[in-house]
Structures are given as structure tokens and as C-alpha cells.
């Protein structure tokens, strides 16, 4: 009678034992696959946050008369280690006027003592009654919008030159609407005024203090494109001076300190003072949290594998005790120990393969539920979009579970058989009787 026939007969006719073993296998492979999927996801998220959290170096040229020049921007953006992407921004205290040249009426805020403002003596008279302009290459990415402090209520975001967003309160006070044109003039420079078209109205959701000065009130803020800001501060310089500061995104945030040193060296060599700062706190927080969790998952993986296979080996040892008579009889009939061991291995392997297949959908469900909860509860809130991450048991994870799990099942079977294999047939038979 062939080994295959014996194996199949045992598995099908001793089905309660087979089902118990199958349940154990499913549990083992599910745990393994879930841990592996979690580990793989934390690794993937760890790689994704390098770009998602956009770690950057900010180069400020606020103290430089020419600001950040086009040459400097091109040089910094093309620096090895930079992604090439950048955002430019300029801020300025600005007076707004309508078509008729009359200053727009602003919402009055707290009166500011000129002595409390650095450089106030250089400002034009009446600066206390100005608003603040935020000019940027990408207004939608401005923190006030991305955090939800401000919201676009009508019109659209800025998508070209000489376009502004104003607060709906400012529009209401002055009878302005989307499509109207206003004139902007910086009180911080002697450059001529710039005209810009209103493309959208915004409102704010963040509460403001009663002591907020006029220029800092949300109602008096205006957002514009970078060119408008550049022209207000630096005048018509044919695009030579682009902005007061620029944010340059780096490729590998783990190299940001080295990159900062190199950029600082370039900045120091300039005639105009430049200040370089790094912004990678979100990335560092997220990375540290994910690294911690990844280590926990890795330890859990090792523990799960160890415990699962110790339990499996114990289960098989226990089962072998119940099959001692069978082992003794087969040995008495001249079967070799190797042949008996091969039958046990074949039985366990067959059940392990079925358990492995069944565990895929189960572990996918568990990984998606438990895994995501673990990720979102352990990772910091700054990890944008982490709540949307789905922990998936991929084919590679599944393959890895098979590559490690199935040989361990065979090893557990052999380990469970060792005490019996070491006995002489007579001892097995006398133990039986």
C-alpha cells in the first residue's frame, strides 16, 4: 500500500484530527501573514512619507535688497539632492485701492504700537491701517488653506499672474465681487502699485483674538500669485527678483542635514544675506513613530513565528502519542522509520497547503481591519493620509509566508517525531501494551 494512499486515508477518515490541524494551520498562517503585511505596510508608508510630507529647506532673502533671484532659485532647485520642485512666497503690508483710486475700507482691528514693530520707521505713514498680502506660487498649499483655517467660498483658486483672493468681508464692505480689479501698493517699498483681478472670495473658520491688529485680521488678508508679490516688493525687474523666500523640496529627507550644510555654504558665498532653515519636523515625527511601530511589528513577527511553531510541534507531539500504536505496528511490519516520517510530513504538508490557501482571505480581512487601526493609533496625526492606508496581504507577502511557514511545518513535524524515532520498535510496542 502506497504512502500516498495511507496519507489520504488518514486525512479523510480521521477528519476531526485533520480539521483541528487545519484550524491550527489557518491560525498560524493568518497570524504570520497579518504581521508580515503590517511590517510591509509600515515600510511602504515609511518610504512614502519621504515624499508625502515634503521635507524642505527654506531659503529666506528677506534682508536682501534683490530678494531671491531667478539665478539663485535655479541654482538651489538644481542642487543635487533637491527634487527640483520649489515654492516661492512673499509677504508684505499692502494698501488696497479700488478702480477709483480710493483706499478700500478694512475691518478695524487692535491699534498697534509702532514701537513694537521692527523697522516700522521705514514704513510709509498710515501702515497701521494696511492689510497683509500673501503672495505664493501655490496658494492652495498655504498652511491657512491646507489646515482649513481659510476656505474658498466662491470663484476659484489662483492659476495665473495678477490674480488675488480676498476675504468676503472685504468684498462686502467695498462692494467688490469676483472679476473686479483692485490696486495693491506695498507700504514696505517704493515700488509702483500693481493691479490684480479678484478670482475668488474666501472666508475663515479659525477664531481670532480681540487683540488682533488690523493687518493680521483674516478679513484684511489678500492672497496673490508670486509675480504680483515680486512686482510689489522688487518692481518690474523682468523676473530677475522672484520672491522674498523660497521653499526647496529635498529628495531624501534623511540627507537633509548634509544638504543644508552645502546650501549654507552657497548662501554664505553670496553678497546678499540668505538664511537657510530646514523643515522636516513632520517627517521626523512620522518616521520615528513608524520606525518604533515597525520594530514592534518585527518583534511580534518573530514571536508569532516562534510561538506558533512551538504550539504546532506540541500539538504534533501530542498527536504522535495517540499514534504510537500505529507507528509500532508499521515498524513491526517492516516499514522504515523514514517511510513513517514521510507519511507524517506528507499529512502535515497537505493540511498546511490547504491552511495556507484558506488563510489568505482571512488574513486579508484581519490585516485590513486590525492593521489599519494599529497604524492610525500609533502613527502621529501629521502623517497625511495614513488613515486611508489599507494594509493588504500582497502576493509577495503570501509567498514569503509559504517560503518560511511550510518548511517550519515540516521541521515541527520532524521535531515531534524525534522522540518516537529514537525508540526501538520493541519499546514502542511494549509502551503500547
Partner 1 sequence: MIEVKNVVYAYDKGRAVLRGVSARFEPGKMYAILGPSGCGKTTLLSLLGGLDSPRSGQILCDGDDIEQTGLARHRRHNVAFIFQSYNLIDYLTPKENVALTATGDPRAVLERVGLTGAEAGRNVLKLSGGQQQRVAIARALASSAQIILADEPTGNLDEDTAEEIIAALKNCAHDLGKCVIIVTHSNQLARAADVVIRLSKGKTQIVERTGVMKHAGPEAGL
**Quick one: which segment of 109-117, 171-179, 224-232, 325-333 binds partner 1 (CB under 8 A)?**
325-333
Regarding 207 and contact with partner 1 (CB under 8 A), the answer is: no
Regarding 14 and contact with partner 1 (CB under 8 A), the answer is: yes
**Contact between 39 and 301 (Cβ < 8 Å):** yes
How far is 418 from 336, CA to CA, in rounded Å? Answer: 14
**Quick one: which segment of 77-85, 215-223, 326-334, 399-407 binds partner 1 (CB under 8 A)?**
326-334
Size, binding site for partner 1 by CB under 8 A: 26
Residues in the chain: 433
Q: Closest CB to partner 1 among 143 and 334?
A: 334
Q: Closest CB to partner 1 among 101 and 334?
A: 334
Strands 194-204 and 68-69: unpaired
How far is 177 from 277, CA to CA, in rounded Å? Answer: 39
Binding mask 402-431 for partner 1 (x = CB under 8 A): ----------------------xxxx-xx-
Cell representation of residue 116: 513694537
What beta strand segments (E) does 52-100 contain? 56-60, 68-69, 82-97
- Judged by CB under 8 A, the residue of 16, 333, 377, 395 near partner 1 is 333
Regarding 324 and contact with partner 1 (CB under 8 A), the answer is: no
Cell representation of residue 341: 516520517
- Judged by CB under 8 A, the residue of 111, 147, 172, 325 near partner 1 is 325
Regarding 328 and contact with partner 1 (CB under 8 A), the answer is: yes
Regarding 331 and contact with partner 1 (CB under 8 A), the answer is: yes
**Quick one: which segment of 9-17, 244-252, 264-272, 295-303 binds partner 1 (CB under 8 A)?**
9-17
Closest approach of partner 1 to the CB of residue 344, in Å: 13
Helices and strands (DSSP H and E) totals, the chain: 13, 12
**Quick one: which segment of 89-97, 156-164, 293-301, 328-336 binds partner 1 (CB under 8 A)?**
328-336
**Contact between 245 and 58 (Cβ < 8 Å):** yes
Closest approach of partner 1 to the CB of residue 1, in Å: 4
Task: Report the chain's C-alpha Rg in angstroms.
Answer: 35
How far is 358 from 411, CA to CA, in rounded Å? Answer: 21
Closest approach of partner 1 to the CB of residue 345, in Å: 17
Closest approach of partner 1 to the CB of residue 26, in Å: 23
- Judged by CB under 8 A, the residue of 58, 191, 335, 376 near partner 1 is 335
**Contact between 203 and 153 (Cβ < 8 Å):** yes
Regarding 334 and contact with partner 1 (CB under 8 A), the answer is: yes
**Contact between 224 and 56 (Cβ < 8 Å):** no
How far is 204 from 80, CA to CA, in rounded Å? Answer: 40
Q: Closest CB to partner 1 among 14 and 275?
A: 14
**Quick one: which segment of 6-14, 157-165, 360-368, 383-391 binds partner 1 (CB under 8 A)?**
6-14
CB atoms within 10 A of CB 113: 10
**Quick one: which segment of 3-11, 76-84, 311-319, 412-420 binds partner 1 (CB under 8 A)?**
3-11
How far is 386 from 38, CA to CA, in rounded Å? Answer: 13
How far is 184 from 19, CA to CA, in rounded Å? Answer: 79
Angle, in degrees to the nearest 10, between helices 281-322 and 324-332: 60
Segment 236-295, which members bind partner 1 (CB under 8 A)? none
Q: Closest CB to partner 1 among 147 and 427?
A: 427
Closest approach of partner 1 to the CB of residue 12, in Å: 9
Regarding 319 and contact with partner 1 (CB under 8 A), the answer is: no
Strands 194-204 and 150-155: antiparallel
What beta strand segments (E) does 109-255 contain? 131-136, 150-155, 163-167, 181-186, 194-204, 221-225, 241-243, 245-250
Q: Closest CB to partner 1 among 85 and 423?
A: 423
Applying CB under 8 A, which residues contact partner 1? Answer: 1, 5-6, 9-10, 13-14, 325-326, 328-336, 424-427, 429-430, 432-433
Amino acid at each position: 500500500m502506497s504512502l500516498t494512499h495511507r496519507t489520504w486515508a488518514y486525512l479523510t477518515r480521521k477528519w476531526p484530527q485533520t480539521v483541528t490541524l487545519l484550524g491550527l494551520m489557518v491560525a498560524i498562517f493568518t497570524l504570520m501573514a497579518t504581521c508580515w503585511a503590517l511590517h510591509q505596510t509600515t515600510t511602504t508608508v515609511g518610504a512614502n512619507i519621504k515624499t508625502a510630507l515634503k521635507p524642505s529647506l527654506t531659503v529666506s532673502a528677506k534682508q536682501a535688497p534683490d530678494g531671491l533671484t531667478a539665478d539663485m532659485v535655479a541654482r538651489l532647485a538644481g542642487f543635487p539632492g533637491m527634487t527640483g520642485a520649489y515654492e516661492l512666497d512673499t509677504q508684505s503690508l499692502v494698501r488696497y485701492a479700488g478702480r477709483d483710486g480710493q483706499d478700500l475700507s478694512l475691518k478695524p482691528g487692535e491699534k498697534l504700537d509702532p514701537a513694537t514693530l521692527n523697522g516700522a520707521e521705514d514704513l510709509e505713514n498710515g501702515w497701521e491701517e494696511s492689510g497683509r498680502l500673501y503672495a505664493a506660487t501655490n496658494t492652495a498649499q498655504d498652511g491657512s488653506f491646507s489646515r482649513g483655517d481659510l476656505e474658498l467660498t466662491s470663484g476659484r483658486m489662483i492659476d495665473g499672474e495678477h490674480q488675488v483672493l480676498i476675504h468676503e468681508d472685504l468684498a462686502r464692505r467695498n462692494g467688490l465681487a469676483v472679476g473686479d480689479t483692485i490696486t495693491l501698493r506695498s507700504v514696505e517699498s517704493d515700488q509702483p502699485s500693481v493691479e490684480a483681478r479678484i478670482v475668488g472670495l474666501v472666508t475663515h473658520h479659525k477664531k481670532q483674538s480681540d487683540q488682533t491688529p488690523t493687518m493680521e485680521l483674516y478679513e484684511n488678508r489678500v492672497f496673490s500669485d508670486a509675480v504680483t508679490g515680486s512686482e510689489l516688493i522688487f518692481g518690474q525687474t523682468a523676473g530677475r527678483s522672484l520672491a522674498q523666500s523660497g521653499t526647496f523640496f529635498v529628495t531624501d529627507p534623511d540627507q537633509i542635514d548634509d544638504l543644508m550644510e552645502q546650501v549654507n555654504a552657497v548662501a554664505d558665498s553670496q553678497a546678499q544675506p540668505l538664511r537657510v532653515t530646514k523643515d522636516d519636523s513632520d517627517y521626523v515625527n512620522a518616521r520615528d513613530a513608524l520606525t518604533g511601530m515597525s520594530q514592534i511589528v518585527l518583534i511580534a513577527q518573530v514571536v508569532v513565528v516562534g510561538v506558533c511553531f512551538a504550539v504546532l510541534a506540541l500539538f504534533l507531539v501530542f498527536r504522535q502519542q495517540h499514534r504510537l500504536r500505529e507507528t509500532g505496528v508499521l515498524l513491526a511490519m517492516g516499514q522504515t522509520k523514514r517511510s513513517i516520517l514521510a507519511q507524517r510530513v506528507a499529512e502535515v504538508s497537505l493540511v498546511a497547503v490547504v491552511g495556507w490557501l484558506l488563510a489568505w482571505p482571512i488574513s486579508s480581512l484581519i490585516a485590513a481591519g486590525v492593521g489599519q487601526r494599529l497604524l492610525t493609533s500609533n502613527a502621529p496625526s501629521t502623517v497625511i493620509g495614513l488613515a486611508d492606508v489599507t494594509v493588504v496581504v500582497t502576493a509577495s507577502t503570501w509567498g514569503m509566508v509559504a517560503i518560511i511557514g511550510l518548511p517550519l511545518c515540516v521541521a515541527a513535524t520532524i521535531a515531534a517525531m524525534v522522540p518516537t524515532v529514537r525508540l526501538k520498535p520493541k519499546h514502542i510496542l511494549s509502551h503500547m501494551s
